[in-house]
Structures are given as structure tokens and as C-alpha cells.
Amino acid sequence: MTDHEILRVFTGPDGEGGNLLGVVLDGPSVPGEAARQRLANELGYSETVFVDDPGRGVVDIYTPGTRLPFAGHPLIGTAWLLREHGHQLDTLRPPAGPVPSWTADGLTWLRADPAWATGRRTERFPSPAEVEALPSPPPGEGWLYAWAWADQAAAKVRARGFPRRPDGVIAEDEATGAAAIALTAELRRGLDIRQGAASRLLTRYEDSGLVCLAGRVTRA
């Protein structure tokens, strides 16, 4: 098995929850898309990241079934991990383009274009209870981000994410940064999102239309 680190990204206030992420720090040790796709499928995490140049923040992201140009939880986790390893980078470079990243108050942040967070349909439900009652996954096709206001005035959201990908490896995503970015852009306001069993994602909407995303990261 290729050496990799396992993180939990977007943990809740009590340290619970968080979406598992695999990070191969020596990305060049797994050359080529086919080999990386095989390893991502073998590991079975929502995403696996291959770090091709830690100093410049060049990364490559895979689900068990496909390569992604951008994804939120892999970039938050990888930014945290590279800083833990002494790389004081301020930008990550996935295929989609440069993604600024920084830390503040124990959170790892990034700023991204919502146009990169495509392929995820958001659906509002009348109450958090109805979101929680959904089967995993709900019937239908395509990536579904089910959400409801837990407290609209305070911008608190209850959400669950269902990839419904053909590979079927991940029935439910514990925490989904790209979907949080898409919802923030749709609502044009910063959000405090509780997703999955115990995860927390924070966002901020900027007048430029860009969205900032933040969360806590720990080793699994």
C-alpha cells in the first residue's frame, strides 16, 4: 500500500465528525491518472489527494471513480497537512486554478470560484427533521445536497450530501466543501452548516462573487 496520511476534515466543535481524506504526500510516487485512480478506488475515501509539488501547492484530486479539477474538503485538508509539515504556502494549485488558503482561529480557510463547484444539485427541505429522515441515498440520480434552515436569521443550516455516483462507493458524504460553496453562492450569504453525523463547515460570501470556506482538520 502506498504511504498516505488519513485526515478528518470539517470536524465539529467537539472534535467529532469530519470527512475522511487520504493524502499521498509523495504524489510522484504514483505516476499517471490510471494508477492514481486505481489507488483512490482501493482506498475508498470520498477523495484522495496526490501532492505533486508541496512547495508550490500543486495537487491532484480523485474520488473512487473519477478525477476532480476542484473539491473543497480535499483542499482544506491538504492545506492543513502541508502546513503541519512545515510548508508555509498561501496558495493551492488543483487543476481548476489557484486557490488561496490561510489559517485563522484554528480554522483552515480557502477562497474559490463557485463556478468550480459544479455538478451538485441543492434541494431545500421544509425542516431539519425532514433532511434527517432521508434514506441514504435517496432515490434518484445525480449529486444531491439536501438542506434546510435550522435558524435562518443566524444563517444556520442542516445539510446532508449524497453523491449517487455510478461507482456507489460512498452512499453519503459526511462533509462536502464544494456543495457548501455552491449553496453559499446560491443564497449569497455566509453560512454555518452542520452536515452528516457531526461535521461543521463555515462559509463567507464576498461581493466579488467568490466564496470562502473554512473548517477544522485533525488526523484520523
Active site residues: 47
Q: Give the pairing type, strands 192-195 and 156-162.
A: parallel
Cis peptide before 137 (omega within 30 of 0): yes
Cis peptide before 64 (omega within 30 of 0): no
Lookup: cell for 134:
432521508
* 85: phi then psi, degrees, rounded to nearest 5: -90, 10
Measured between its terminal Cα atoms, the distance across the chain in Å is 17
- The neighbouring-strand residues paired with 120 are 143
Q: Which is it for the CA torsion 80, 85, 87, 88, positive or negative?
A: positive
Please tell me the distance from the alpha carbon of residue 72 to that of residue 18, in angstroms, as a whole number. 13
- By the 8 A CB rule, do 57 and 20 touch? no
Among 143, 150, 134, which Cα is nearest to 178's? 143
Place of cell 446560491: 186
Q: Which amino acid is at 73?
A: H
